[in-house]
Structure 1
């Protein structure tokens, strides 16, 4: 028979063994969980990251390189990765060390600077090609470079003003030798503009017209170009608007001018042969004179800007409605407008009168309809 002390000792030892077993089992589970978590890797692709050049900017001029690259970041630390991915919080830079690069064209290895040790980076592309020259500054006269559309559309340059007329260009020594001229390139303008006013950056060109690398930002100049626009004469016709009052069968119109001059690009002028002048005939029961603006648009300029129109109503006979005497009209208030270019009057629509109004025989009176004989004696006010 075992003694009580021996039994207690055995139970304590057994309990200790179970406790150790549970402890190591719990730690093994935690370590396994940690291993699983640390195996998770996060990725971010960053685009258009600027390349920082390290060189003596007072002595050298560098050109011909790609100014941005793409960077692939990866890390098991999501917080650090997000910090480096965010443009506002990132610490790293992509740099190209040119401090020991000789003059001429070279291929330079890129590297990442200031990146957290918890994050790795891969640059695409890994290298850039640069041209290193001695830095020089020279003065050049500036010439205006007009858009090709100016000449193609028939504009004539009357006067050109540049301020300043001469600029200092900073570039490489060899590039400066290749400069044939310095220009102020103007951008396209609206078709009806007769004066161009623009502030632009100058460009240096070689003898083939190719743009050369100069210091950025380039010098600016103010350019004013006065142009003479192509012009042509077009006919004017009346386009009645509104509704005539009761008792008025039709109207006759007299224009103070049958033609107007329009100015604009050749393509716009070629598309216009006549302009319809809208005349409101609402509530007109007596002979009326109006000054009406000639329609225009941003594509052309019209002269004169307005024309005087004399409106004469022709009344229906009290016993015969306008619809009875003119079967083609649906009501007593119907009317037509026609400008008469020659001595033989004819009936027609407003659109057809547009082309006939430019006839060489100026007749200022127009009529809205061939009045029936019954109305010939009707009083016209």
Structure 2
């Protein structure tokens, strides 16, 4: 036995057995091959994704103005998971319309792609689009402004409007440019506005019917400033009697001698250095004090005043009818006295004659 173990054939046999064991161990799937198996399975799993991609034009856009196509289209890609993920993250492909050989007019054109990996399948929606190719034209227009002046608070006026820039560049199909009647901004002022309007406003190109024309404006917005102010001045007040007085003489007193009036320039121009304040005495029977609402007293002559109210003391004087009655009584008394004196004189005369 010892002789066999020490022989070269024994060791050769052992080596052969080990080699066979290693061969079968490596060839049989097991725990050691899990990672490689997972990697292999990952590379063969398919995945689907839908992307939104900008649509590009292959055309002479300096010469032609092209409309009718969407800015973006959707493309659904499908293929190996890793490849779909990489394509989704990088989007290193293009979707485009080839219009180079097309003439002026409408055309139905297929959307094409370039740059997608050949292992991916794809579907583009929409597959076809209808484009309108027209001769390109560029023109400058002055910007008009239109706003509702009724939005201003009572008595307030709008000054000279500022638009910056006051011209815009309009680009579009020559046929569309010809339709433009005016380029305008329409700022929307808050109801009852009392302060300067100062905002960016969208520019519109309109035809003679007031409909929007399909053109490109540069810039698309302009800065609009509308100064909104109200005029005012200080005036003295004249307290004037109003209503039936019943021949009563009234006098008026107030601690307020002058007020500030507010309104439009035309309202200010119509008033000199003073205003008449009517004091209604139709319900006054004696000395009293009234609070006068200046807005009601002045009506539409001004927008409002400062102060808005004043206190007026109303004093009543002597009545003319009372004075007349007094004179009549005095005359009657005097007459009566004279008659008495005459009677006394007659009585005295008679007595003397008797004697």
| TM-score normalised over the length of structure 1 | 0.49
Alpha-carbon distance, 1:14 to partner? 3.8
| Partner Cα distance (1:166, 1:118) in 2 | 53
Pairing 1:292-371 to 2, within 5 Å after superposition:
344-345=288-289, 358-360=295-297, 364-365=310-311
Going from structure 1 to structure 2, the CA distance change for 1:168 and 1:35 (only over 3 Å counts) comes to closer
For the 8 Å contact 2:58–2:96, the answer to whether it is kept is yes
For the 8 Å contact 2:294–2:310, the answer to whether it is kept is no
Alpha-carbon distance, 1:61 to partner? 0.8
Count of residue pairs brought into register by the alignment: 255
1:203-240 Cα distance to aligned partner (Å, 9 max, x none):
33234322222245358777666778899xxxxxxxxx
1:139-197 Cα distance to aligned partner (Å, 9 max, x none):
65x462424x44566998776677887766432133234x1412121322355257666
1:106 and 2:43 are equivalent in the alignment: no
1:91 and 2:95 are equivalent in the alignment: no
Pairing 1:43-82 to 2, within 5 Å after superposition:
45-47=50-52, 49-72=53-76, 76=80, 78=82, 81=85
| Partner Cα distance (2:294, 2:158) in 1 | 33
For the 8 Å contact 1:170–1:214, the answer to whether it is kept is yes
* Larger proportion of helix: 2
For the 8 Å contact 1:258–1:357, the answer to whether it is kept is no
Q: How well do the aligned residues superpose, as a CA RMSD in angstroms?
A: 5.0
Going from structure 1 to structure 2, the CA distance change for 1:127 and 1:359 (only over 3 Å counts) comes to same
Q: Which residue of 2 aligns with 1:188?
A: 188
Q: Which residue of 2 aligns with 1:37?
A: 42
1:16-49 Cα distance to aligned partner (Å, 9 max, x none):
33221111114875653333222445555544x4
Name stretches of at least 5 consecutive residues in structure 1 with no aligned partner: 232-252, 264-339, 347-352, 368-381
For the 8 Å contact 2:42–2:81, the answer to whether it is kept is no
| Partner Cα distance (1:363, 1:211) in 2 | 52
Pairing 1:1-381 to 2, within 5 Å after superposition:
4=4, 11-26=14-29, 32-41=37-46, 45-47=50-52, 49-72=53-76, 76=80, 78=82, 81=85, 84-85=88-89, 90-115=91-116, 122-138=123-139, 142=142, 144-147=144-147, 149-151=148-150, 169-177=170-178, 179-190=179-190, 191-192=192-193, 202-218=203-219, 261=262, 344-345=288-289, 358-360=295-297, 364-365=310-311
Name stretches of at least 5 consecutive residues in structure 2 with no aligned partner: 233-253, 265-278, 299-307, 314-355
| TM-score normalised over the length of structure 2 | 0.51
1:41-86 Cα distance to aligned partner (Å, 9 max, x none):
5555544x4322120122211123221234445564659835753x
For the 8 Å contact 2:198–2:224, the answer to whether it is kept is yes
For the 8 Å contact 1:159–1:227, the answer to whether it is kept is no
